[in-house]
Structure 1
Amino acid sequence: MMLSICAWRGDHYVSLHELLDLIGHFFAECRWSVQVNEVAPEPGAELLEDCDSSRLMLLHELIRISAPNIQVIDGEITAIDNDGNASLLLRAVDSTSWDIETANTEALARVRESFGDAVEIPD
């Protein structure tokens, strides 16, 4: 199932760091692939921009490089389980929204609880 949320809440940007704080623990055992095509120029943004999508990292590594001030404009962050399957896909869409795709109903419920305007995207 996929949900989409607005990335901007007034003048507050919902960052990757914030999403990981919200639902990352549901995917704590996963390895993470990061493919960021564009980020806003902020101190530390180069850490995300320089990620090699073939190098999988642990959740705590991803949280460390995704500082709360970094705005992902375009990119995909994927949690990959021990069987090599994608458990979660976070897609930054033109800096305006985040698409969140997962079969984890608890994670989706948490997103809906935190972002009441989340919209379900049909498969």
Structure 2
Amino acid sequence: MSILSENQSDTPAGRVMSLTASAAARIAKLATLEGNPDQMLRLTVSGGGCSGFQYGFSFDTAVNEDDHLFARDNAKMVVDDTSLDLLAGAEIDYVEDLMGSYFKVNNPNAASSCGCGASFSV
């Protein structure tokens, strides 16, 4: 497991991710609402979806050996090593608009994505 944050200079080149202030605030709020401020957002990539790969979001309290931990403010996000290969350089945002509220992945590795942004191809 590696613990990385936006303020650390020893992050592996190209294998970083970031949380916007909006995403960090929402993660912290959801963890508080769940009654466990130690919960972290887990972001995974799996095969499927209309574009080839799909994003998965869940909450977790465990950090596995192959996980990378990213933090901002009072929020933490966990990404497994395999998913990080497809997410390196991505920014996780929390958006509230006419379509609803959701976590949005701004992934520079995605060559294309579906209309709803839940899946992508490389």
Bigger relative CO (Cα 8 Å, ≥ 6 apart): 1
With normalisation by structure 1, the TM-score equals: 0.28
Q: Counting helix residues as a fraction of each chain, which structure ranks higher? A: 1
With normalisation by structure 2, the TM-score equals: 0.28
Q: Counting strand residues as a fraction of each chain, which structure ranks higher? A: 2
